[in-house]
Amino acid sequence: MPVHSSSDYRPPFPFVNCHMQTIFPNLFRRVGGVSYKRRRLTTPDGDFLDLDFSSVRAQRIAIVVHGLEGNSYRPYVLGMVRALNRAGWDAAAINLRGCSGEPNRNLRFYHSGDSGDLRSVVKHLLGTHAYRRIDLIGFSLGGNIVLKYLGEEAGKVNPAMAAAVVFSTPCDLRSSAMQMGLPSNRLYMVRFLKLLHGKIRQKAWQFPGRIDDNGYQTIRTFKEFDDRYAPVHGFANAEDYYEKASSKPFLQRIAIPVLVIDAADDPFLPRSCYPVAEARDNPLLYLEIPKHGGHVGFVSFRTGGVYWSESRAVEFLTEHAL
């Protein structure tokens, strides 16, 4: 499809700054009106995923996948779940392994290409619920998982799978890791490494002798982190992980309508993470590039507290209803 470099998103003053867009919602946004019911899904490898459901007794459901070190209670997830419920969707927010407040059972936790767990959730919903339609929404790391999953499923996608929307997606993991290593992103890098350190310490306690955090304080970049810990997830090193887990090679195979929204000023995304050529080659892949929005920002002060990203996702899913 044509790439939409223009967009109707207009940030309120002073949110033309990409860092304000990125930081403000995480620190100051409060989202009410969502009531979850948690269900635990056992995975094929004996681990578990905690799913948080918000139901309006609909026949359609959207699966929402959070970003790096997120969970179902992050404001961007709650805001999307609330918007979906108001528009007539049930919602299931996945807490990726180790992100639900309880350590997962196995040595590995989650990673950017973990499409197998999303596949398990889709299979569970199709097998145990009477939903006529399933949509997918992913943010950042969760967006990469959604895109990779859909590319892998291209020739066998279930007829109930209708459409997907992803935001701020690092579809080229190698270049996005390098981007995060820039001095301008140092504040974010320090925060992510600190949060990930907590998971590494937990795993070292669960599995002594198989993983440790000795010298962790010397790690300064995702490349250094991934070289050390990607083998926990079955990869040889960081380069192997970036090659196999990136969604970009899968985009041309996607066989349902998908909207990719990446703000032009996203501080986390280098040029290679904007899939312009892929969108032009795949008639089902829509790429929208608002001038502003930061990383998972798109701040709005609308009636009802709805952010632009939430209304845009509902609009796209409605347009492509089965």
pLDDT at res. 152:
97
Instruction: Tell me whether residue 63 is exposed, middle or buried, using C-beta atoms within 10 angstroms of its C-beta: 0 to 12, 13 to 18, 19 or more.
Output: buried
pTM of the predicted model, to two decimals? 0.97
pLDDT at res. 128:
82
Over residues 152-167, the pLDDT tens digits come to 998 888 899 999 999 9
Using left for φ > 0, alpha for ψ between -120 and 50, and beta otherwise, residue 209 falls in: left
* Residue ranges of domains in the chain: 18-171+250-319, 173-245
The set of residues, in sequence order, having a beta carbon less than 8 Å from that of 87 and lying 6+ positions away, is 314, 318
Report which of 66, 127, 113, 114 is spatially closest to residue 92, judged by C-alpha positions. Answer: 66
CB distance 248 to 172 below 8 Å:
yes
pLDDT at res. 4:
62
Question: Interior CA angle at 291 toward 144 and 174, to 5°?
Answer: 30
Superfamily of domain 18-171+250-319: Alpha/Beta hydrolase fold, catalytic domain (3.40.50.1820)
Measured distance CA(150)–CA(131) in Å, rounded: 19
H or E element, residue 195? helix 186-206
Instruction: Tell me whether residue 27 is exposed, middle or buried, using C-beta atoms within 10 angstroms of its C-beta: 0 to 12, 13 to 18, 19 or more.
Output: exposed
pLDDT at res. 302:
77
CA distance readout (Å), 287 to 76, 141, 224, 275, 316: 20, 17, 31, 7, 12
Residues of the chain with pLDDT under 50: none
Catalytic residues: 140, 266, 295
